Structure 1
Amino acid sequence: MLYSMYEISRLALTPWRMAANATRRTLRAPWNPVGETLAGRTMAAGADLFESMTRKYGKPEWDIPETDINGAKVPVTPEKVWSSPWCDLVHFRRDGAPAGQPKVLFVAPMSGHFATLLRGTVKTFLPDSDVYITDWIDASMVPLNEGRFDLNHYIDHVADMIRAIGEGVHVVAVCQPGPPTLAAISLMAEDKDPMRPASMTFMGSPIDARLSPTIPNKLAEEKPFEWFEQNAIHTVPAPYPGALRRVYPGFLQLSGFMQMNWERHVDAHWQFFNHLVDGDGDSADKHRNFYDEYLSVMDLTEEFYLQTIRDVFQEHKLPRGLLEHHGRKVDPAAITDIALMTVEGENDDISGIGQTQAAHDLCRNLPADMQLDWIQPKVGHYGVFNGSRFERDIAPRMKAFMVEKGRKV
């Protein structure tokens, strides 16, 4: 019912949104002298703000037309090289790129935002890496006849995509996929799978959410499991392809993130309004680019969301040695030759300090000289994988670690 009410409310605002669009276009037309007045700029800014706050944001484009390799501009083409109803493995083909560069797979979060949230991460690695990324599909777009998708299926997908890329890949799990990615690699290591990764890097991941618990961690522990079943799960309405599928809606996840930093978001939108009034197009465009990405959200299947809540955030099965995959125990101690790096942010309010570092304790049979832990000062959760400090301090360390410590094949 909540999902349907949300959609009805959004549709009810359509005429107002169209009116706001018409207003801002009219006031900003070069032939309209009113648009140059303070009153005209204020009205146009208000219309712009209303439109941006009531729009439904679709899946963003990758928008990476080229990269710079050894001083030369090289075109970049995202292409699907493996697919399932739930995920596309995207390869960023670089025409003319030198052979032999490290293959890097970014396992993107399936926690509400699209994989394009890692656009900046991908851009930073493209000049000297052969980059792949998991592009998870919005559950509301997957028809019921495609079946279920839970945490076990996620682990299967990660392992299948590692095998699809081939031997020698360096796997990077960003935030949510840390536990299932470590599980997939543990199983591959135990099987002595020849396609097991050369290295694995976990960034701001809840490997052990008991350590330095944050607000989301505390919420997951304080509420009983039944609360999430009864309050977080809703039915996808028509005309979505996934109509009647039970999901954790992306708009609920987004509202939770927004409330965590409500004052910051309100201040950002107030500044956006003032930038528009003042004619500061560059600052307004930066705001639009950030929120066009941040407000684009996807739904998660009921079974994946609830199993993640229970196994990762309530029962902490992986660090306690209790996680099973299709009835098989997951044991990270089986990893003996896959280099491990962990990255955390000093000010991370999503995955606290120590949660990602826990991977080192779990991989107890991995030689110390194949492990590296890095805590980046003065960054929050998103600064772990995006922004100037990531580009300057974190990414170079990751690249060097992959080349120097990764298992040679």
Structure 2
Amino acid sequence: MLYQLHELNRAWMAPLTYWAEANARVFSAPDSWLSALPGASRIAAGNELLYRLGKDYEKPEFGIHAVKVDEFDVPVMEKVALEKPFCRLLRFKRYTDDVSNIKDMKNDPTVLVVAPLSGHHSTLLRDTVRTLLPEHKVYITDWVDARMVPKEHGTFSLDDYVAYIEEFIRFIGTDDLHVMSVCQPTVPVLAAVSLMAARGEPTPNSLVMMGGPIDPRENPTAVNNLATEKPLWWFETNVIHTVPANYPGRGRRVYPGFLQHAGFMAMNPERHFQSHWDFYQDLVKGDLEDAASHRRFYDEYNAVLDMPARYYLDTIQTVFQEFKLPRGAWDVNGERVKPSAIRGTALMTIEGELDDISGQGQTRAAHKLCTGIAESDRLHLTAKGAGHYGIFSGRRWREQVYPQVREFIAAHSSQPAKRQAASDDGKVTPIKRKSTG
């Protein structure tokens, strides 16, 4: 019923939202006589703020059309490599007519970026993808909004998530493949590779795990505490709802995006209030650059998706309440998950010093579990001054984290180094790669 009430309220608010958008335009457009009236800038700013608070936020585009490779602008095309009911595997294909560049790019390592299915769209990792592209072939998991998946496709569980990752790895091939998981997917990615290793299947050259709850018992955050303080039935009763009839997934049980968004905002209400007030002030002052930065951030932050109910409840129970992975008690489709079975795959873990979602030690715990990985093939990085988002997006990701990720991948690549890469200080230094045989 709550979902239906939300949709009804959204429909009622739509005329006011459109009216506010129109007012914002006519009171700010240079060729409008209304923009010359006293107080027009405040009227326009107030209406745009009202419009942005009430509007619907659709899934943003990645918008990556070109990257610089060896000082050349190389076109990039976003392609669907494999499509499943609940996820699309995207590839960012680079094109060039320069013969030497073609040869180098073909030898670049392949990176599968596993985006989180935890509220936001995979475009939240746009900066991650854009930074990787000049020196890597890049794929990313693009999870589908559950309200858009017809009910006849069945449920989607945490076990299904693990199976999807296994299928994507087999589809791409493990020859010089490096899997990077960001936040929530560190757990199912580690499970997928563990199961593949235990069966004797080829596994990726390396795993890069960033800010994820491998062992949430380490330095629990407010997010972890909520999951342990409430019983599973509380989550099923209070946050699981049915998709209304106006969506393809009508009748499907989900954790709605609008409730997730409310939770995101409630974690730091003062910061969001201040951000919106600053946006209003920037519009009044005519500071268009800062106003545009606010729009870009909240266009992404406010775009949320519905999560399948079974997957969400499985994650709460398996990962955050029963800690099955670190306890060695997790069975996926009847197979025990044993990270100790992983051999020949290097492991890098990354945590943010100021991460308030996955506390320090939660991701690093993967090293305790992966006892079959040689010490020389392990690396841990704590990004100084970085919060949760800073380890995969923004200046700290680009300047502090990515250079070490790049070197780690290069050191465990199957291909010899022929490309040169820019270091933190802008100087060009050779990439050193170690043959894995």
TM-score of the two chains, using structure 2 as the length reference: 0.92
AA aligned to 1:52 is R
Displacement of 1:34 = 3.7
AA aligned to 2:321 is Q
In 2: Cα distance, 1:140 partner to 1:394 partner: 35
Displacement of 1:37 = 5.0
In 1: Cα distance, 2:236 partner to 2:129 partner: 35
Which residue is 2:181 aligned to?
A: 173
Alignment equivalent of 1:190, drawn from 195, 198, 207: 198
324-333 or 24-33: which moved more? 24-33
In 2: Cα distance, 1:245 partner to 1:259 partner: 26
Do the aligned residues in 2 keep the contact of 1:38 with 1:277 (CA within 8 Å)? Answer: no
Do the aligned residues in 1 keep the contact of 2:109 with 2:413 (CA within 8 Å)? Answer: no
Do the aligned residues in 2 keep the contact of 1:339 with 1:406 (CA within 8 Å)? Answer: no
In 2: Cα distance, 1:396 partner to 1:38 partner: 52
Do the aligned residues in 2 keep the contact of 1:108 with 1:118 (CA within 8 Å)? Answer: yes
Alignment equivalent of 2:223, drawn from 216, 223, 228: 216
In 2: Cα distance, 1:14 partner to 1:312 partner: 39
Deviations 1:248-294 (A, max 9, x none): 01111111111111111000000000011111111000000000000
AA aligned to 1:85 is P
Displacement of 1:405 = 3.1
**Equivalences for 1:9-408 in 2 at 5 Å?**
9-36=9-36, 39-96=39-96, 97=102, 98-167=105-174, 168-194=176-202, 196-406=203-413, 408=436
Do the aligned residues in 1 keep the contact of 2:26 with 2:34 (CA within 8 Å)? Answer: no
Displacement of 1:392 = 0.6
In 2: Cα distance, 1:99 partner to 1:222 partner: 50
In 2: Cα distance, 1:279 partner to 1:59 partner: 28
290-299 or 253-262: which moved more? 253-262
AA aligned to 1:245 is R
Deviations 1:164-209 (A, max 9, x none): 1112210000000011000000011112213x11100110000001
Do the aligned residues in 2 keep the contact of 1:204 with 1:351 (CA within 8 Å)? Answer: yes
In 2: Cα distance, 1:192 partner to 1:119 partner: 34
Do the aligned residues in 2 keep the contact of 1:104 with 1:132 (CA within 8 Å)? Answer: yes
Which residue is 2:99 aligned to?
A: none
Displacement of 1:65 = 1.2
Give structure 1 stretches of 5+ with no counterpart. Answer: none
In 1: Cα distance, 2:201 partner to 2:108 partner: 22
In 2: Cα distance, 1:133 partner to 1:338 partner: 20
AA aligned to 2:198 is E
AA aligned to 1:255 is A
How many residues align structurally? Answer: 408
Do the aligned residues in 1 keep the contact of 2:67 with 2:133 (CA within 8 Å)? Answer: yes
Do the aligned residues in 1 keep the contact of 2:57 with 2:303 (CA within 8 Å)? Answer: yes
SS in 1 for 2:324: coil
Which residue is 2:8 aligned to?
A: 8
SS in 1 for 2:75: strand
Do the aligned residues in 2 keep the contact of 1:338 with 1:406 (CA within 8 Å)? Answer: no
SS in 2 for 1:318: helix
In 1: Cα distance, 2:38 partner to 2:280 partner: 13
In 1: Cα distance, 2:29 partner to 2:265 partner: 34
In 1: Cα distance, 2:328 partner to 2:5 partner: 42
Give structure 2 stretches of 5+ with no counterpart. Answer: 97-101, 415-435
Do the aligned residues in 1 keep the contact of 2:180 with 2:208 (CA within 8 Å)? Answer: yes
AA aligned to 1:117 is L
Do the aligned residues in 2 keep the contact of 1:171 with 1:200 (CA within 8 Å)? Answer: yes
AA aligned to 1:179 is V
In 1: Cα distance, 2:36 partner to 2:262 partner: 36
Deviations 1:12-67 (A, max 9, x none): 01110111111112112223344145510000001101111111111111111110
SS in 2 for 1:211: coil
SS in 2 for 1:205: coil
In 1: Cα distance, 2:326 partner to 2:159 partner: 17
AA aligned to 2:344 is D
In 2: Cα distance, 1:406 partner to 1:190 partner: 22
TM-score of the two chains, using structure 1 as the length reference: 0.98
In 2: Cα distance, 1:331 partner to 1:307 partner: 19
In 2: Cα distance, 1:329 partner to 1:239 partner: 41
Deviations 1:77-97 (A, max 9, x none): 110011111111000011025
